[in-house]
Structure 1
Amino acid sequence: MTNERRVLVHPDKTALGAAVASRFVTKLVDLLAAQPLAHVVLTGGSMGSAVLEHVANNPASTSVDWTRVHFWWGDERWLPRGDAERNETQARAALLDSLEIASGNIHSLPASDEGIELDAAASVYAKELADHATDGALYPRFDITFLGVGPDGHVASLFPERGGVREKDLTVISVRNSPKPPPERLSLTLPVINSSERVWLVLAGADKASALGLTLAGASVNEVPAAGVEGRRSTLFFVDADATAEVPESLTATELFWTGSDSPDAY
């Protein structure tokens, strides 16, 4: 299966969020027409929430049978359940609480006030992944994994020059001394992220331009974790114009970049 790697450029953050939401809804409808369930990995951050808000307000979202969609997270801050900084809390407010789906379809990571330690929490989520896998796999077949990209090139809670980005054996890791607060987190590992059929990275703003340029130029994964992301079927970078400011001209070839108005919908 050929992996498609494309960058889709939109004029601003609002257009970006709306376009990703529209594509997400359309893709879910297509997926659920061909298979019984869809597994989606969500991300946090301002653009992650913005996309979900646009999904909630998209009239076409009523065409999705949300009862057949399972939601997971790529990472989570080690904070109490319901804390406003948790990715889960933000996703619930933006979209999930408005959907009529079973609680068992929402696979949130453990919280710091639930009586377990951080390492044990990683094991709990790893078990939940395995419990929803098939054919002896360690995790479900993810159809779409959303990722944000930090200015330093981190994805999920896999940070540059940290051991987590090099982890090959574990599916979920505990993160301590994160360079971005809060210091303690949980994160999927890169092999799990890259097992997804489609990885959609959504980033906006001039502060992300360096990370995008280095990622597309093939920087070291240890130095720029986003450079190591590769979905099985496709890897799409959804960006606004500001985020392309430091992308070398040699990387803006038409076979790699599309604008929001002419990008194909097959991926």
Structure 2
Amino acid sequence: MNTPHAASRCPRPSHVDVKPRRMRFGLDSLKRHWHSNDAFRSHFFNGLSTLFPQGERFFIDSVRGVQHEITDPVLLAEIKGFIAQEAVHGHEHDKYNNLLREQGYDIDKLDRHLGFWTRLGQKLMTRKQQLATTCAVEHFTAIMANALMRYPQDWLGDAPDAMKAIWRWHAIEETEHKAVCFDAYEAVGGGYFTRILMMIQTTIHFSYVTTRHVCHFLAKDGVLFKASTWKSGFQFLWGKPGLIRQIFRDYLDYYRPSFHPWQHDNSTLIDEWKAQHEEKYSVRPAA
């Protein structure tokens, strides 16, 4: 069994490894409205994808910024695995985003806008604040990953197999490393007040940039101001079963002083994915 490091109140399950995978999804082309022939659903995921390459680099930089202060070998090994996983995620979403670029969407414009905010954050925030921001985003990705794995039909029901595969793989690895940055933050003396302040800021900013990116895609398709677009969006996010409704309670858990990501032990979902999908899409273990 893995030995929990000193900062951890709820150690990672012993059968969960933080190791990257190389995957082959067959994502060589992409229908414009690939999810259920629905513009909002497709562009909700497309909008998220455009956030990941720069986001992953920010996450890696934030944990590297404090890595020299950490001495626990278990946590250092987890950080190494986290960095490797996030690097592969950025690479795969770069390929995904290139398909969107080929369809005429201005991905470079979205990258420049996101880059401005990323550089500003790195300039104005301390290293601990940057890591606390990463902890906040990692909580978002973890609870979204959990909902996607638990309710795959609600999230990706009529999507092509390649899109189901890439999002499920990403969800699995986000789950595997969901506590790494949180534990690093606590290991370097990060406090509750900063953690919550950065979560509030991140909630506002994450909502803003995601909405902006989704609206870019919808505007390019000429459906931004159609009532049917937003009716579909409201149902997808807030209806029954809406995605936000599925994650909201887990989101609020982050504000508890005693919170730790592995208090939500959903490791059985990782086991199920490995049994059903890992061998099908895996090329070889990533170095």
TM-score normalised by L of structure 1: 0.30
Over alpha carbons, which structure has the higher Rg?
2
Higher RCO structure (Cα 8 Å, ≥6 apart) = 2
Of Structure 1 and Structure 2, the greater strand share is in: 1
Instruction: Please give the TM-score of this superposition, normalised by the length of structure 2.
Output: 0.29
Q: Which has the higher helix share?
A: 2
